[in-house]
Every structure is written in C-alpha cells, then in structure tokens.
Structure 1
Amino acid sequence: MSAPPNFMADYGERLVDNGYPVIPIMPGSKVPGRYQSGQWLPYPDWARHCDRTTKPFEVDIWQRWPGCGVGIAAGAVVGIDIDVLDGALSIQLGELAAQMLGDTPCWRVGRAPKRLLVYRAESSFAGRKRHPLELLARGQQFVAYAIHPDTGQPYAWPESNLLDVPLDRLPAVDEASCLAFLDAAWGLIPDEIRVNSILAEAPSSTWHGPSDPKGTHEAIAAALAWLPNDDLPGNEWITVGAAIKAALGEEGRDLWLDWSRQSRKSGQSGRADTPERRWASLRPHSAGAGKIYWLAARRGWVPDPALTLNGTVAEQMAQQHPAAALLAKAEATPLPPAPEPKPYRVPAEVLEVDGALRLFLDYATRSAVSPQPFLALGAAICLVGAVAGRRYRTPTDLRSNVYAIGIADSGGGKDHARRCVKRALYAAGLDRYLGGEDLASSAGLLTSLQRHPARLFQVDEFGQFLKLVLAPRAPAHKAAIWAELTKLYTSAAEPYIGAEYADQKARPRVTIEQPCACLWGVTVPGPFWSALEGGALADGSMARFLVFLTEEDYPERNEAPAAMDPPLDLVAALQGIARGVPGHSHGGNLAEAMESSAPIHAYTVPLCPDAEVAMAAVRRDATELLRAHRGTYATALFGRYAENAAKLAMIAAVSRDPARPVTEARDVTWAAKLVEHCIGTLLQEAERRVADNDTEANHKRVLEIIRSAGTITRNVLVRKTQFLSKREREEIFEALVEGELVAKTIQRSATKPVVLFTFCKIPSDDTAGDPSA
C-alpha cells in the first residue's frame, strides 16, 4: 500500500514564501496535529500560529511527517466558509461575497458544491458562525491542501490557488464588511437549513442517519434483511409497513410483501387482512426510512458506504446538478504539481545590518572577486564578538563569544572574508585578538587564551578538522579540542578552570577569567556534513554553531574589486569596540583588562522596552519548540535558539554604538531571523545528508547525486557511485524508485535505450517522521 501524499513536503515551503501561516494537519482529518514517537496526536497549541508567520525551520520539520496535510491559521488570512449543498444557492452566495467583499481568485472546494473563499484581513479580528455560514478569522483555521475525509479526494482549487497568489495580492477585508456579508447571506438561507440554536444540531433520536423520511430501495432492502419477520405482533407488522410506505411510496410494495411472507402466519388465517390488502390501507405518519434503519442498526446492521440512504439525496443525484459546471471544473482542475525545489535563498533582511557589521560586510563584499555577502556576515559577527569580548554582557549575563561556520564549494570565495578579518585587525592594531589558524591540541588552545582571553580562531578546512576530532578513534589530544571548545563556550561569564594533574609543576591547572573564544570556520560541504554522522547533532555540540551556507557557490564575478586595504571608518569602529564604554571600569586599565586572571566587570547592554517584548516572544517560541520536539535531536538546536538570538542582538547593538549600546527591537528581530535560518539550514541539510549508519548514508549520498543533477543517465550515475558494489548500487536504485524519491524512465534512441533517473522530492516516509530517525 502506497504512503499517503505529503502535502506539507510538496507545498509548505512555497506557501510560507507567499506569506501564509501554515500549520500541520493530521492525515485523513481536518484537525491540526503533531507527529511524535511514530504516531499522530492533536496539536492543542496550534492557534499560536494565528499571530505570527511560520518559521522556515518549522516547515523543514513538518514536511518529514508522514501524510502531513497543510492548514492555514486564520488571522492575517480570512476564510468565508459556505457550507451549503444546494449548488445554485452556493453559487449565489459566492457571487454575493464577490460583490460585497471583492472577487477573490482563491477559493477551495472540499465536498462540492460547498466552497471556502480566501481573503486577506486588513487587521486581525474574531470569527463568527451562523450555520451553515462561517467567518473564519483569528483563532481559527481551515485546510488548504490535504485529502478530504469524506470524499477521499484532495481539496480542489478550481481557479487560482495559494501557491500562485501571495497573501498580499488577495482582496483585503475588514470586520465590518465581513459581518455585513454574513447578514446579507443569512437572509438568503432557507429556514430548513438554518440552525439558530446549538441544540438544533443534536440528534433527536437514537438514529444518527438522515432525518428525511424518504429512503432508497437498495438501502431499505438491506436493512429489512436484518429484521426477520418471525411471527411479529400485528402492531409491529403494521408499523414496519407504514415506515416502508413512507420511505418508498408504492415502490416499496414488493419489499413489504416479501418481508410479510416470511411469517409462518402469512396466508394461514384465512382472514381478509392479507399483506396486499393491508398495504392499500396503510397511512404513513411519523415513521419513515430512519425508523427502519434504526431498528436494523440495533440488530447489528452497518450500512455499506456505497449505499445512498437518503431518498431525497438520491433524487438530486439522478438529476442535473445545479452546480454541474462547478463540479466539472473542480474535477478537471487537479492539484498543482509540487513546485520544483527552489534555489537555497538567504532572507534578505538578515543582511540588513549597520555599524561595524555593515562596514565589514561592505568591505569584504566590494573587495572580493567572488562576493559572498552571507559568509562575510558570519565572519563579521565573529570579528565583532571577539573584539567586544569581556567588555559587554546581556542582562541575563550572556557574552559575545560566537561559534560559526561558513560553507561553500571550492573556488566559491569562502576564504576571502577570513583574509579581510586579519587585515582589519592588523590595521586597527588589534592583531592580539587573532588566535592560531589551526588548533593542534587542547593545550595549545588554552595557552592561546591565557595569553589573551578574547581571541578569534579562524580555521580553514573546518570540515576536515571536525572529521578528525569527532572520529571514533581520534587521537586523544585532538578529541580533547572539541571538549574544550564546548567547555569554553559555556564559561564565558565565569572562570574557566582546567583539569588537575598530579605533577602541578610540569602541568599546572589552567584558570582563565571569563574567556571569550570566538571561532570562524570555513569548509566545503562534503567533509562537513559527513563529519556530523558521528553524533554531533544528537549530543548538542553542534547546536552552539551558527551555520552560514552560501546560497550560491559560484556567484557572479566582480571584475573590478576594491582594494584590500581596510577602510578607515571600519578601523575606527573596531578600535571603538575594543575601548568599550567610556567611564565604565572593566576591571583595570586597557592592558590589564586582557590579562587572563584580571577581574572583569562587563558593561550590561540594556534592552529598550520594545526589545524586552520581542525577546520575551523569542523565549516563548523557544520553549514551545522544545516541547513540540521533545526526544529528538532538534531540541538541542532549539535549546540554543533564544541564547544565540540574545547574543547576536547584543552584538548588533555594540556594532552600532559601542560607546553607549542599547539593544533595540530591530536587533532582536534580526537576530532571531538569522538564528532561525541557521537552525533551518542544519535541519534541512542534515535530513538530506546526515545518516545514522552506512546503509542510510549510501542511500542519501546516491539521492544527493541525483538531486544535484536533476536528471541523470544510468551510465553517468554508475560512474559517480563507484564507491558501491554492483549489488549495493542496484538495491539502492530500486529502493529510491520504489519509494518514489526518484523516477526511472527509458528514452528511446537510434542505437539503444537510455535509462534516466530524475529526482522527485525529499524523503517524507514514516522513517523520516521523527527528526531522530
């Protein structure tokens, strides 16, 4: 049995790009859900998505949940739900909405001719319900892409859909206009389908089927088979007869006669009250099809889903439907194909920085032959973090120590920003902040920080370094480097106390007061991602790193790069950060303040009131993400979300005004956006590349080769997979095709057929539902 379609994997990312707040929907339902520990559960806190945009890394997680549908959290989005089965009336109400609210290009059909019209709210407001009409607004949601639980078919968008129409292009509505529409539309609703009381929706009897007395011949016959006429009393015999006649009229006569003749008394009394005579005299009243269905259900009858129980519905189905054109259009309009994987894109707003960060970003970009602004930003953050080390702190005592990694392919310009950092520090007379470019041992790392406790270590080929220090059989002096980096990261606000050795004279204990170790590593993708297969994601050590993956390995060349000499305003800005806040004592004069044992009193960078509110929201988001993904490696990343955002926001404030820094709301927003992007990068790339065992690693490696090519011939793919045996290769090819991750086609040619493999989509089966899988 094939897996249910994963609509979140197909459409979630594009919907978020278009501005829609998406939420995960449990397969086969209309209910928001979460996939945890191999099963779907309701998502009780989904309504929080009504008040904020969806984060890219949330979609990266949800798209791995099997069969995940896509819902839209209302708030910025408004839905007009017309829950009417009368086709002509449904069309009339849709036209009224177009007149009063605007003609929206996006409307959705689940069970035709019911429809839902999608609008944009000028400002958020609460919804209303006047059954069968509903105004879906803040605090509510609707399903956009999923399998309808009643029809078993995907929801249809007969005209435009949300993938093609960004939120800001939908007609805008306000609360008053929507309520006016509800009033006008309610006046068109017939009394028999209005519901003015919540009690009116409750069943009036034990039968939960159709309330219409009319039934269908097939359904009544099926129910009577469960009602044996074993010499019933006369009154019960007559009750059933009246119900049959009410349900079918004269068409029920044969069923009545056949059922009556089951009795041994039939034709034996010699009386005139035969079934034929009684049928003519029956006068139906309150009992009808529902009575027969109820009696049969009490005896175990379960209606076949293919049966139509309601006679009125059956008559309507036999006629030309008033909404036949609408139905035909919905059926003829299949769901749009899943969008092609879009190029990796860095959010433009994360590059909108000022102060020293902006000065360095411009310097590194203009002087580069292959400009990489995102990598330059990562280097700039580490640079400012190191120079600001031990001088500034957040109100929660976080410091400016940052670990970051820049990733780009060979020849893509990843090393240029590293060279610019060195030149800028030398020009500013701050070269003492530079640590070694290779970490040979943990002892060497600590010795460097003893000499100057605020240091920036720039490590080339960081992926190879990771593979070396994280290898299961790594030399002890190499493996210890990773452990020391982890300890140093958490010791920035307190004394770092090293290991005790027996020979204190030869190996004295290392103590460093509030060390600020910043690290900027650059690497090509392959070695870095393969290094993570050792468990660095699961144990949380990689959660300390911000990952800057370039959006373009080979950008457009700058044919006239600027000079490599650092601009004077950048030099002055770095010197100002190194001086710190005028009049604030850091624990001694400028020289003494950078002694490893010097007492440190860092300046507390305050948050303005708006920044306090923004930072509180980030902390709430972090807590919610931790709760939602308890038990997976993703919690290690989310555990550092608020901490990294607070650090970066402070660095932004110091970059702008080192003499009197104040963290503003825009700093928090920028920092949170950047951290979200870095977390999303780890989640997205780890799903594609990181494996827990050799077999999974080989599958992902082959899939990545096909994904990078888009379409590749079998011969070329065989040459690129020589690391596999013939048997392994064939098994992997077959598994990828059977899993519908890769499509296999045969192209005819003049000589011999050519076998092609085409990448389809990311994995979305049950094994990918848990980020720890």
Structure 2
Amino acid sequence: MPATKNEANGKSPSSTTVAEAIEKAKREKDAAARVKMLGEAAYVFRMTGREQAEIEKELAELCPSATAEEIEAAAADAAKQETAELQQHVLEAFQQEQSNGKPGGSPNPLGDDADDVPTEEEIAELQRLDGPLTADPGPLPAQLLKPGGLLGRIVDFTCEIATKPNPPLALAGAFALMGTLLGRKVTANGGKTHAKVYALAITDTAGGKECPRQVNVDLLSRAGEIRLLGGANLNSHAGVISMLSEWPVRLVQIDELGRYMAQANGRHASQHVQTAITSLLTLYTGKDYLGETLKDRKTCRPVLRHHMSVLGSSTPAAFFDALSPSAIADGLLGRCMIFPGERDPEFRIEDDEAVRNTAPPDHLVAEVASWINWRKKNLRPIYEQHEDDGDASGPLGVIGLSDLHPFNVPTDKDAAEHLLAFCNAREAIRRTADQVTRDLIGRDFEKARRVALIVACSSGMPDENKLRITLEDARYATALVDYMTRYVIYQAHGRIIDDTPQSVGKQAIKALDWMRGRTGNDANKATGRELGRKFHLTAYERDRLVDYLIDTGRSRADETGRAGKGSASRVLRVI
C-alpha cells in the first residue's frame, strides 16, 4: 500500500488533523476578536456623527487585516443607530456604573470621598491669602488634583495609561482640552469671561509630559473634530492668524516650550517667534482680529471671536531661564496656568496587553463628542456662515455674528461673592507688593473666573438647564489660581534675572561659586571674557558683572593681561 503524503513527510494523519484543527480554531478566534473590535470602533465613530461610508474608511485604516465583508457589516450595523441616542445611551450606562460605586470621575470638584472634601476653613488655608507670597508653596495640593466631572475622568484616564503617571500634568492637559471644547460655546459674567486657557506642564526630563498631549489628540480625533488641533509650534504672528482664520477654535500643544521661548530672547532672537509671543498676549483677552495695518485689513480676512488654548510643556530650568523680565512686565507669565509636576513620578512597567489598551473608553469619547456637537455651528469661521447668502459686508464687516450664540453660564450668588472676596484680597496685596508680585497677580481674578467656568461645565452636561457656577466651583478655582501664582512668584524671584542691582548680585554669586570651584592655576580667578563665555553674557552684561564684583569688594582686579590680539582683559581674583 503506497504511503500517504502525510506519512511520506513523517506525520501521522491524526497529528495533522489536530494541528489543522488548532490552526482553524486560532483563525476563528482571531476573526471573532477582530469582528468585536470592529463593531466597538464602528459605534465610536458613529457617536461622532460619521455616516457608513466614512465609518468604513476609518475601519479600513484602523484594521488593515479585516476583510471588506467584516468592515461593511460593522459599519452598516453602526450606521443604523442615531448619533444622539447612542451618545446618550453610553453616558447613561456610565452614570449608572458610577451610581453603583464603580470607578469614575467625582461630581465634586474637590474630591471623590466625602471625608476628603476640604471645608471652607481648609480652602482658606490652601489659599493663604495673607501669607508670604514669595515662599516656596511646595507641590500642588492633593485636593486640587481631584476636579469633578469630565476633567476628573480625563485626569484618571491619563494617569491610568501613562508609563509615568503625573497627575498635575494630566490636569494641565485636561484643562487645555476642556477649554478648547467650550470655545465659542459658553461664557460667563455677561460674556466677559470665556474659557481660553494657556496651560503649562512643568516637570523634569522624562517626567511624563507626552501622555497628556497624546490623550488630547486621541480624544479629539475619535470624537470626530481633529480640526480643533492646531500646529505643534507658533512660528510667527502671521502663522497664528492664518491658523485661526481657517478654524477659529484651536488647541495648540507645544513641546519643549522653554527652548521655544529662548528663541525670543538674546542677541540672536527670532523676530518671528517674538511676534508669535506678542500674538499670545493679544489673543488671550481680545475677541476679534481685524488686521494691524491698512494693508492687512484689505488683504486678510478678520478672525472674529477667536478662541485659542495652549498646552505647553517644559523643564523648570529651560522655561524659567528662557524668560526675560519683560515676560512678567507685559503679562505673559500672568496669563498662564502653570502646573508643576511631581519630581519623581512612579515608573510603571505594564504587560503587553495593558500597553495595547490605551484607547479612550467609549464614555469618555461620547462626553467629548457631546460637547463638540452641542452648538456645533459656533465652531465655524464667522465669514463662512453667510458667505454664500450674499450677506457678507466685506472683510471689515461684522459678518455672521448674529448666528453666534454662546450660552452665558449663570453664577450662584454665594459663588459670585466668593470670587469678589478673592478679587478684593488680591487688590489689597497689590497695593503693598513689589513690582514683580504686582504684575503676576494682576490677572488672578480673571483666571479664577475662567477656571470656575471650566470646572462648572466639566461637572455638568451640555444642557442650558444644568450649567451653573456653584460655590464649590468658585472655591476650587481660587485655591488653584492662588497656588499657581505663588509658585510662579517663587520661581520668578529665584530664576528670572533683570537689570536691577539685586539680580546682578545673583549673577555675582553664581560667578564666585564657579571661580572658587576652579582648580590648578585657574583656582579662585577668571578673566572677564571667561565669565562672559561661561554664563553666556553680552559684552554689556559681562562688564556690568565685573564692575559689580570689584565695586562690592568681592574680588580684585590684578595686573591687566592680553588675550591674543584683542583688547586688555582684567583678571579677577576672589577675595
């Protein structure tokens, strides 16, 4: 009897049958898992308002290994669902989980656990309005890392998937995203307060700065409005205005912000970056941009009711050392919400399965999508709304403003009184404070109002009947803003050098420490040029430092030497 093919290969029919069965089962298991994943993804895309053809395109890019039949079936099933009903179903299911005691965001912006909610006296201690403003405030208090609603859920998710969970940085990302979602849709105080946020995440290298940015990208892309994301840098004023004219509500996420800011200072400062930073100052408070010159007005479209939020990240040294005194005087630093991260966040090594599960959960995507789709027409460029109707009155006209209806979120009486008391306390401090402190706390009241508005919307739903600023929102806002201002004042007094005698003295201390640390023939001495090269000083700054060291008796100038063919250089010795 001739040998079978399997026997000729040294395999028995039974072993081959088992192997084929195992392989078939594996394929079926993989296919089932793929179909399940496609179905879940299709429902998420449907929640963002996509139609069947768009869903099929997204699924094909998401899972190239899926067959056309699998993709079509998943997309067709999802397309049968009504977007609004699907969003509501997901949110109701999530709220039911919360009521059953399962993990989720806290409805109280000051904590999950009732025992952990600070009292009014504890909040006053957090604010320490009559304490020394220049003292080190320490790390961000734990009570302030627990905002409620959508903010809290974004913070929780970011920390859950991060390799190095850093709650203050997650909070910075959540505020920047929430401020963007509210752009042009809500205001407070009769339209005087809006939700623009300049959030800066400050932490050491490898401290977890990347994860919050990626979470924001994932949430906006899955929620169906990637246009809300701006560029990764602000290269010039013209570039900023062009970006906002295309889409007036934007979130700009800038990595290595300190290095970017450094380009605006020094002898080799970039004029383009300087103009971009100037635009940050004007766009923070202004509502409309009509062009700065007659030529601009004739050739550029206006940017009406623009709304740009920023999420920047940097190391403390790179950011504060890159700032000039003008950043304080002109109000740039005072406009920012600075979130100092934890110094040594836990390094978490996850298994492969956990690492793969970094996609935002459906309920989080649904919440973001619900804010995007609420009053969605408000996101469009104003000139676009009436351009086809022959209604526009030219680039200088107020075009389509009648269609822009942001909801004015009411403020409870006790919340308004609390915010006013905070304002009065700040003004009392300004009357007797030094100039740096005066400049840095000048916008605290405005920032507190913005934070209260964002927290109130985070705790509610995009529903006019449920949105209001409560006393708890106001308390959280004033506590957070007070801490951030104290942190910035402490850093400004210790790091940002200006032209005052006090700052020259700080430079002198650094120079003397360096000279004392030198060895050999260079011990305890240096030339002016060596000091200039070491501390990156201009000729004026170098000569000023040398004169200060001699005039104050901290060093003496020995015989004059020559360095090559250049002019004479004094040799300074530490006394």
- Whether these two folds match at TM > 0.5 is yes
SS of the counterpart of 1:469?
coil
Match of 2:427 in 1: 623
Match of residue 377, structure 1, among 171, 177, 185: 171
Residue type of the alignment partner of 1:577: W
Task: Give the direction of change, closer, same or farther, for the CA distance of 1:364–1:594 in structure 2 (3 Å limit).
Answer: farther
Partner of 1:209: none
Distance 1:521 1:594 in 2: 30
Corresponding residue of 2:410: 606
The equivalent position to 1:462 in structure 2, one of 250, 254, 257, is: 257
* Rounded Cα–Cα distance in structure 2 between residues aligned with 1:578 and 1:509: 28
CA distance, structure 2, for counterparts of residue 628 and residue 648 of structure 1: 26
With normalisation by structure 1, the TM-score equals 0.46
Q: 1:737 to 1:557 in 2, by over 3 A?
A: farther
Shift of residue 478, structure 1, vs aligned partner: 2.4
Q: Quote the residue 2:146 is aligned against.
A: 352
Match of 1:559 among 331, 349, 368: 349
2:117 aligned partner: none
Distance 2:208 2:438 in 1: 33
Question: C-alpha distance in 2, partners of 1:530/1:634?
Answer: 18
Equivalent residue runs for 1:90-109 within 5 Å: none
Deviation at 1:701, TM superposition (A): 6.5
Q: Whole-Å Cα distance in 2 between the matches of residues 56 and 353 of structure 1? A: 20
| Residue 536 (structure 1) shift | 0.9
- Structure 1 position 502, deviation (Å): 3.5
- Matching residue's letter, 1:361: V
Alignment of 1:420-431 (within 5 A): 420-431=215-226
Change (3 A) 1:510 1:347: same
Would the alpha carbon gap of residues 477 and 590 (structure 1) be closer, same or farther in structure 2, given more than 3 Å must change? closer
Query: What is the CA distance between 1:612 and its match in structure 2?
Result: 2.2
Q: What SS does the corresponding residue of 1:488 show, helix, strand or coil?
A: helix
1:230-379 aligned within 5 A: 344-379=138-173
Whole-Å separation in 2 of the counterparts to 1:578 and 1:603: 14
Match of 1:653 in 2: 456
1:676 correspondence with 2:499: no
Alpha-carbon distance, 1:55 to partner: 3.7
1:724–1:489 Cα change, 3 Å: closer
| TM-score between the two structures when normalised by the length of structure 2 | 0.61
**Residues 724 and 423 of structure 1: CA distance in aligned 2, closer, same or farther (over 3 Å):** closer
Change (3 A) 1:511 1:590: closer
Please, which of 534, 537, 541 is the counterpart of residue 723 of structure 1? 534
Alignment of 1:687 with 2:482, yes or no, is no
1:538 Cα deviation from its structure 2 partner: 2.0
Where does residue 248 of structure 1 map in the other structure? none
1:531 aligned partner, one-letter code: A
Q: Are 1:635 and 2:438 counterparts?
A: yes
What's the secondary structure of 1:604's corresponding residue?
Answer: strand
Please report how far the alpha carbon of residue 447 of structure 1 lies from its aligned counterpart in structure 2 after TM superposition: 0.9
Structure 2 gap segments, 5+ residues each = 1-120, 386-398, 537-541, 556-575
The residue aligned with 1:386 is 180
Match of 1:497 in 2: 290
Match for residue 300 of structure 2? Answer: 509
Q: Deviations over 1:4-36 (max 9, x none)?
A: xxxxxxxxxxxxxxxxxxxxxxxxxxxxxxxxx
Secondary structure of the corresponding residue to residue 389 of structure 1 = coil
Larger strand share, 1 or 2: 1
The change in CA–CA distance for 1:509 and 1:414 in structure 2 (over 3 A counts) is same
Q: Does the residue aligned with 1:404 lie in a helix, a strand or coil?
A: strand
State the shift of 1:420 in Å: 1.5
| Distance 1:555-1:363 versus aligned 2 partners, 3 A rule | same
> Structure 1 pair 511/558, CA: closer, same or farther in 2 (3 Å)?
same
Distance 1:699 1:567, change over 3 A: farther
The Cα shift of 1:613 comes to 2.4
* Partners of 1:469 and 1:478 within 8 A in 2: yes
Aligned counterparts of 1:626 and 1:652: Cα–Cα separation in 2: 27
Query: How far did residue 698 of structure 1 move?
Result: 7.2
User: Aligned partners of 1:690, 1:452: CA distance in 2, in Å?
Assistant: 36
Name the structure 1 match of 2:133. 61
- What is the DSSP-based 3-state SS (H/G/I as helix, E as strand, rest coil) of the residue aligned with 2:327? coil
| 1:703–1:366 distance in 2 versus 1, CA, 3 Å | farther
Is 2:274 the partner of 1:479?
yes
Offset at residue 346 of structure 1 (A): 1.0
Decide whether aligned partners of structure 1 residues 690 and 366 sit closer, same or farther in structure 2, where only a CA change above 3 A counts: same
Structure 2 letter corresponding to 1:691: I
**Is the Cα–Cα contact under 8 Å of residues 453 and 595 in structure 1 kept in the other structure?**
no
Name the one with the larger helix percent. 2
Alpha-carbon separation, structure 1, partners of 2:129 and 2:318? 23
Hey, what's the Cα distance between the residues in 1 that align with 2:553 and 2:470?
49
What CA distance in whole angstroms lies between the structure 1 residues aligned with 2:126 and 2:170?
Answer: 27
- For 1:536 and 1:479, the matched residues in 2 are separated by 11
Separation in structure 2 between the aligned mates of residue 615 and residue 417 of structure 1, nearest angstrom: 29
Letter in structure 1 aligned against 2:147:
V
Indicate conservation of the 8 Å contact 1:470/1:531, yes or no: yes
Unmatched 5+ residue regions in structure 1?
A: 1-48, 64-340, 739-773
Counterpart Cα distance in 1 of 2:474 and 2:145: 14
1:603 CA drift (Å): 0.1
- AA aligned to 2:484 is C
Partner secondary structure for residue 663 of structure 1: coil
Q: Which amino acid aligns with 1:604?
A: N
Shift of 1:470: 4.3
Please tell me whether the aligned partners of residues 457 and 467 of structure 2 are also in contact (alpha carbons under 8 angstroms).
yes
Letter in 2 for 1:555: P
Q: Could you tell me the percent identity over the aligned residues?
A: 26
Paired residues in the alignment total 396
Equivalent-residue separation in structure 1 for 2:141 and 2:439 (angstroms): 23
Distance 1:363 1:488, change over 3 A: same
Shift of the 496–590 alpha-carbon distance from structure 1 to 2, 3 Å rule, reads: closer
Q: Against the structure 1 CA distance between its residues 472 and 453, is the aligned structure 2 distance closer, same or farther, given a 3 Å change threshold?
A: farther
Deviation at 1:579, TM superposition (A): 2.8
Q: Distance in 2 between matches of 1:653 and 1:594?
A: 31
How far apart are residue 450 of structure 1 and its match?
0.8
| Amino acid in structure 2 at the alignment position of 1:357 | L
- Mean CA deviation greater in 676-685 or 462-471: 462-471
Q: Tell me if structure 2 keeps the 8 A contact 1:500–1:509.
A: no
For the structure 1 residues 55 and 358, does the alpha-carbon distance in structure 2 shift closer, same or farther, using more than 3 Å as the test?
A: closer
Equivalent residue, structure 2, for 1:666: 472
Within the candidate set 291, 313, 338, 1:547 is matched to: 338
Whose relative contact order is higher, 1 or 2, with alpha carbons under 8 Å and at least 6 apart? 2
Q: 1:598 to 1:359 in 2, by over 3 A?
A: farther
Q: Distance in 1 between matches of 2:244 and 2:147?
A: 29
Distance 1:592 1:518, change over 3 A: closer
d(CA) in 2 for partners of 1:354, 1:737? 55
Q: Does 1:524 align with 2:330?
A: no
The CA distance in 2 between the partners of 1:673 and 1:375, in whole Å, is 17
Give the direction of change, closer, same or farther, for the CA distance of 1:511–1:503 in structure 2 (3 Å limit). closer
1:708-740 CA distance string (max 9 Å, x none):
xxxx9887x999x992699989x98xx9999xx
Q: CA deviation at 1:474?
A: 3.1
Rounded to whole Å, the distance in 2 between the matches of 1:703 and 1:606 is 53
